[in-house]
Amino acid sequence: MTTTPPDQDSGQDPNDLIPLPPTDILSDADENEFVEASIVEANSFPLSKTGIAAWILVGSITLLMFSFVAYSQLFPEQEIGGDASSSELMTLQMQGKLIVGQEQLLALAGEPPSDTKQSLPEQFDTGSYEQRLCYAILKGELEGPEAVKEQLIQLDTKVLENKDVLTLTEDQAKLRQLIEKLNREYSQGNLDSSDILPLTDRQLIESRLGWTGQLALLPKETPLTTQRKTLESEALTMLILIFIIAIGGLGIGLASLISLIVLGIRLRRKKMRSNFEIRFYNHNVYIETFALWMILFFGSSLGSSFFLTQIELDPANSLFVQLLIFFGSLICLAWPVFRGIPFAQVRKDIGWTCSNPFKEFLSSIPSYLATLSLLLPGFLAMFILVALVSSFQETHEFGSPIAPGHPIQELIAEGGTRMILMIFLTACVAAPIVEETVFRGILYRHLRDVKSFSARWMSVLFAAVINAIIFAAIHPQGIYGIPVLAMLAIGFSLAREWRGSLVSSMAMHAIHNTLVTCVSLVIL
């Protein structure tokens, strides 16, 4: 492949020569004329009119999506009252499992029961009415029936104080009566909930209060020993899994630091080189393609959300529709073909190539580990953002919690085999393939090419940062997710630059989403 010398004023490394278009696209007679015209155009103003229009569209959609989510986070309309969702009880449910699991671990170790009772942090006694009931149940587990009675009296007082904004639903009022009845019988020595409540009432407690509701039906010393042991085993399993995750996290953190150092040394010694080939002659087509993808994906997502809301489709089926939208949005790749670029060339341009899949997958492991080190400043920035936003937000004590999160957490909390399968397919298969194709394939191609006459490090930095900002801004995590997602996207872009193929960044994306999803399943 023929190359042209770099612009002397650009500060580009003399070794970073700019490759010409493949010879099957231009004839030898037209090659020099094409290159001279392209260099003049790129140095003067690299974007065409359609490229400018595409960028205006991309910027507008990105700003609109980000502003919508950010506004809802900065100025949330807290829902006060109404039946609580499963996700609102997640934190307290996990706390309850850890408490019971710790007691079981001590029992297995042969440790005598401690005279010092565990205490439940008061900050958990906030949020929805159901969460307050769960708090009372856990107090009873730790301190006995009298603590439940006191907690229910305090809860009644708080409800009266907030009667102007809080009206209990029929289920909430029923739950309050059932918990009080159970506690009264337990204090009198009757510990068999099946004798105290009919099946329909016990099912209501389990369905509305989850694992903590089961704990309320199976107190210590209950004659229903088999069910109680099952509950205790679940709590112990949770405790062990969290311990394993913590140890694994420390190991991954150490491996991340080692990978970052090793890759840095190899880069310093020039044993790593970029395999990304510059093709400055098609970059306008690719920003048009990216803009078209945004229209297709977000337009279809919004349209399907409105339609599915009207017909009240099952959440698992809704995720299946989203899966189809993910893969269907890749029809945007027909646009560069329509604009005259052979599909074989499109595949090369966006990184849909791989000479050795096994080698590319192996390269994704140290690349991902090194990227995890970049997440540390991202998490620090996120915590600072949360603290700053929380400092001026007024929250109601019965309001839903305001915290960083993803809508998929609600789906995970609902559980179900089919739902979990759809979550894995969407988050761990569809998202890595589609998002890497459009961001590190299409958009990164445009950004690198449009800045190709700068020094290589400037071009890579420009492309990675702009790519990361757009990637993070359109995700539903909003302002809280920007720092972490942007750092993650920069790592994916650097892997794309290094390997020249999307396989490595797709694998990194899949590894990350799989780990996060698995940890969420354990915790939630």
> What one-character-per-residue DSSP string does 219-234 give?
-TT-S-HHHHHHHHHH
CA nearest neighbour of 328 among 432, 421, 430: 430
Residue 478: what pLDDT? 83
Stated length of the chain: 524
User: What does the alpha-carbon distance between residue 485 and residue 152 come to, in Å, rounded to a whole number?
Assistant: 42
Domain boundary among 242, 260, 295: 242
CA nearest neighbour of 278 among 16, 465, 68, 506: 16
User: What does the alpha-carbon distance between residue 479 and residue 69 come to, in Å, rounded to a whole number?
Assistant: 8
Co-location of 348 and 451 in the same domain: yes
Q: Distance from first CA to last CA of the chain, Å, rounded?
A: 54
Domain boundary among 186, 213, 242: 242
Co-location of 411 and 287 in the same domain: yes
CA 208 to centroid of chain Cα atoms: 26
Q: Evaluate whether residue 385 is within a structural domain.
A: yes
CA atoms within 13 A on the CB side of 426: 23
CA nearest neighbour of 447 among 429, 467, 430: 467
CA nearest neighbour of 371 among 459, 240, 255: 255
Q: Evaluate whether residue 10 is within a structural domain.
A: no
Determine phi and psi for 3, rounding to 5 degrees: -130, 155
Q: Which residues contact 395 (CB under 8 A, 6 or more apart)?
A: 78, 402
Co-location of 51 and 140 in the same domain: no
Determine phi and psi for 271, rounding to 5 degrees: -90, -5
Residue 34: what pLDDT? 43
User: What does the alpha-carbon distance between residue 410 and residue 85 come to, in Å, rounded to a whole number?
Assistant: 8
User: What does the alpha-carbon distance between residue 25 and residue 340 come to, in Å, rounded to a whole number?
Assistant: 11
User: What does the alpha-carbon distance between residue 482 and residue 498 come to, in Å, rounded to a whole number?
Assistant: 24
Co-location of 217 and 108 in the same domain: yes
Domain boundary among 242, 259, 293: 242
- Helices 199-217 and 225-268 pack at an angle, to 10 degrees, of 60
Q: Evaluate whether residue 16 is within a structural domain.
A: no
Co-location of 294 and 387 in the same domain: yes
Contact between 166 and 119 (Cβ < 8 Å): no
User: What does the alpha-carbon distance between residue 484 and residue 380 come to, in Å, rounded to a whole number?
Assistant: 9
Co-location of 195 and 126 in the same domain: yes
Q: Which residues contact 517 (CB under 8 A, 6 or more apart)?
A: 412, 423, 424, 427, 428
Q: Evaluate whether residue 133 is within a structural domain.
A: yes
Q: Evaluate whether residue 96 is within a structural domain.
A: yes
Determine phi and psi for 4, rounding to 5 degrees: -115, 150
Q: What is the pLDDT along the chain (524 residues), one digit of tens a residue?
A: 334 434 433 333 333 333 444 444 444 444 444 444 444 444 445 788 999 999 999 999 999 999 988 888 888 776 777 777 777 777 788 888 888 888 888 878 776 655 445 667 777 778 888 888 999 999 888 888 888 999 999 999 998 988 888 888 899 999 999 999 999 999 998 999 999 999 999 999 998 898 899 999 998 888 988 999 999 898 998 889 889 989 998 999 999 999 999 988 988 888 888 888 887 778 899 999 999 999 999 999 888 877 777 777 777 888 888 899 999 999 999 999 999 999 999 999 999 998 888 999 999 999 999 999 889 899 999 889 888 887 777 777 777 666 666 667 777 766 678 888 889 999 999 999 999 999 999 999 999 998 888 888 899 999 999 999 999 999 988 888 899 999 999 999 999 999 999 999 999 999 999 998 888 887 76
Q: Evaluate whether residue 263 is within a structural domain.
A: no
Q: Evaluate whether residue 164 is within a structural domain.
A: yes
pTM of the model: 0.83
Residue 11: what pLDDT? 39
Contact between 278 and 284 (Cβ < 8 Å): no
Residue 342: what pLDDT? 93
Co-location of 57 and 160 in the same domain: no
Give the number of domains in the chain. Answer: 2
Co-location of 139 and 58 in the same domain: no
The residue segments making up the domain with residue 162 are 87-242
User: What does the alpha-carbon distance between residue 451 and residue 388 come to, in Å, rounded to a whole number?
Assistant: 36
User: What does the alpha-carbon distance between residue 467 and residue 443 come to, in Å, rounded to a whole number?
Assistant: 7
User: What does the alpha-carbon distance between residue 233 and residue 415 come to, in Å, rounded to a whole number?
Assistant: 19
Amino acid at 303: G
Residue 354: what pLDDT? 87
Co-location of 507 and 470 in the same domain: yes
User: What does the alpha-carbon distance between residue 205 and residue 218 come to, in Å, rounded to a whole number?
Assistant: 12
CA 194 to centroid of chain Cα atoms: 41
Co-location of 346 and 315 in the same domain: yes
How do strand 3-4 and strand 18-19 relate by DSSP bridges? antiparallel
| CA atoms 10, 15, 20, 22: torsion sign | negative
Co-location of 294 and 356 in the same domain: yes
Q: Evaluate whether residue 219 is within a structural domain.
A: yes
Co-location of 138 and 66 in the same domain: no
